[in-house]
């Protein structure tokens, strides 16, 4: 089942053509990595796929909903899309559990229910023991686990990760990919932007962007690992 | 000389017969470098000639057992305390190919992209093998070694692309 689909998407920033016509689908259970030199349009692609930005032309569909017809993108993002970034991940004045609860509370969940959901998803990512600690008390790997938990809390099945291993050593980076992979195997769709081949190699498919176009994609497709 | 020293190291934890050495060598290195039994016996014969192992009779099923000698133990110690030399690498076909592409006016970007896709596929297969290896530490570290090497090639290809693009402006 396709979770996110981009069809002939272009994005112009003023006179700059950041994306020049990209089509891409990510299915449930699939991990797709996007690679490419800086300025190739990787982050633009991720922002469009997650409804953080609208395309100049072409369509973006998340779980069957064409974003062109959605007025309140923020509401759709809170319920369907999770984001993990390299930094600026967690709010320092909130504990790990409170950070994870935040999207649920913004969406109107009762505090007790939001906390129960947060603890459950923290346990899923192996971070239950740090639930009541503040971000500054956590290691880089633990922080990123909490950020992934926050991206997944609720029923969100689309996870967008922009260089989630950026500041981590390679062993911890591997753990984060292991975790993203496990989420995929449980049915999430993950779109991962990375410049590191070792992490892209965890994907089912690797897409190379060059100058706003997909240079090579399906050629790297392998049969599913599952 | 990694097979020679690998077998010697396995023998340093107790006497073994040929087939057993093959199985243990492959299990330890993640079956990344399959050994044929002929290589094992040839290597054992040389180790015996050099006085590093000695025949230790046969087990109850008649299999020839080998035992490490004192000189063999010293050789294992020497192996672990000596770094591996970087010098005797074979000529690098990929580097030669890229250089030739540049020199002959072939489209370097195409050569790079073709290689990048192939190397990424190899990286994906190694990563899959690593996931399948689970908790086996020795196997995992061998696979990591191959992953780091493939990644270095991938980075070098990115570098080639960026530099040749820069030069063609």
Compute the nearest-CA separation of A220 from chain B (Å). Answer: 6
CA-to-CA distance for A61 and A70, rounded, in angstroms?
10
Q: Does the pLDDT at position A55 exceed 50?
A: yes
When scoring B109, B127, B147 by the number of chain A Cβ atoms within 10 A, the one with the most, hence best to mutate, is B127
Question: Could you give the residue ranges of the DSSP H alpha helices within chain A?
Answer: 42-49, 73-80, 96-106, 111-124, 140-152, 170-185, 197-200
- Taking only the tens place, the pLDDT of each residue in B71-122 is 999 998 888 887 776 655 566 778 878 887 887 777 888 888 888 888 899 9
Please report residues of A whose CB lies closer than 8 A to that of B141: none
CATH number of A2-90+158-220: 3.40.50.300
The pTM score is: 0.79
Phi, psi values for residue B84, rounded to 5°: -80, 135
Q: Do B124 and A208 touch (CB under 8 A)?
A: no
Please report residues of A whose CB lies closer than 8 A to that of B161: 37
If we measure between CA atoms, which residue out of A142, A136, A28, A33 comes closest to residue A92?
A136
Q: Is A27 exposed, middle or buried (0-12, 13-18, 19+ CB in 10 A)?
A: middle
Confidence band (pLDDT; 50, 70, 90) for A217? low
Confidence (pLDDT) at A223: 44
Confidence (pLDDT) at B79: 84
Q: Which of A172-176, A182-186, A216-220, B146-150 has the lowest mean pLDDT?
A: A216-220
Mean pLDDT of A138-165: 88
Interface ipTM: 0.77
DSSP assignment, residue A135?
A: G
Give chain A's mean pLDDT: 87
Compute the nearest-CA separation of A23 from chain B (Å). Answer: 19
Confidence (pLDDT) at B34: 81
Confidence band (pLDDT; 50, 70, 90) for A226? very low
- Taking only the tens place, the pLDDT of each residue in A103-119 is 888 878 888 888 998 99
Domain ranges of chain A: 2-90+158-220
Residue A63, Ramachandran bin (φ over 0: left; ψ between -120 and 50: alpha; else beta): left
Q: Is A220 exposed, middle or buried (0-12, 13-18, 19+ CB in 10 A)?
A: buried
Q: Which of A67-71, A167-171, B15-19 has the lowest mean pLDDT?
A: A167-171
């Amino acid at each position: 089942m396709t979770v996110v689909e981009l069809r002939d998407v272009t994005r112009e920033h003023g006179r700059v053509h950041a994306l020049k016509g990209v089509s891409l689908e990510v299915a449930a259970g699939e991990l797709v990595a996007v690679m490419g030199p800086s300025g190739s349009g990787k982050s633009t692609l991720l922002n469009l796929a997650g409804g953080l930005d609208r395309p100049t032309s072409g369509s973006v569909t998340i779980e069957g909903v064409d974003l062109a017809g959605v007025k309140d993108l923020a509401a759709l993002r809170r319920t369907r899309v999770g984001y993990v970034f390299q930094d600026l991940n967690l709010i320092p004045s909130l504990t790990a559990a409170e950070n994870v609860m935040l999207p649920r509370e913004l969406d109107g969940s009762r505090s007790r229910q939001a906390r129960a959901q947060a603890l459950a998803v923290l346990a899923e990512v192996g971070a239950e023991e740090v639930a009541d600690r503040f971000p500054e008390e956590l290691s880089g790997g633990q922080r990123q686990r909490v950020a992934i938990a926050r991206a997944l809390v609720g029923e969100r099945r689309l996870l967008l990760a922009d260089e989630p291993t950026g500041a981590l050593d390679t062993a911890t980076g591997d753990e984060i990919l292991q975790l993203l992979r496990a989420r995929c195997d449980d049915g999430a769709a993950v779109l991962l932007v990375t410049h590191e081949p070792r992490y892209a190699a965890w994907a089912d498919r690797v897409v190379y962007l060059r100058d706003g176009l997909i240079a090579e994609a399906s050629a790297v497709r392998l049969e599913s690992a599952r | 000389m990694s097979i020679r020293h690998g077998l010697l190291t396995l023998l340093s934890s107790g006497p073994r017969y040929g087939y057993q050495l093959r199985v243990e060598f492959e299990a330890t290195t993640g079956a990344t470098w399959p050994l044929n039994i002929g290589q094992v016996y040839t290597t054992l014969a040389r180790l015996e000639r050099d006085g590093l192992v000695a025949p230790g009779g046969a087990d109850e099923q008649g299999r020839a057992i080998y035992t490490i000698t004192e000189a063999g133990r010293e050789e294992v110690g020497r192996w672990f305390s000596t770094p591996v030399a970087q010098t005797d690498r074979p000529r690098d076909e990929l580097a030669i190919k890229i250089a030739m592409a540049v020199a002959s006016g072939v489209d370097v970007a195409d050569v790079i992209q073709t290689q990048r896709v192939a190397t990424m596929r190899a990286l994906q297969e190694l990563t899959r093998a690593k996931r399948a290896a689970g908790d086996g530490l020795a196997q995992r570290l061998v696979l990591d070694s191959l992953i780091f090497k493939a990644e270095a090639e991938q980075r070098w290809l990115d570098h080639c692309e960026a530099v040749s693009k820069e030069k063609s402006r």
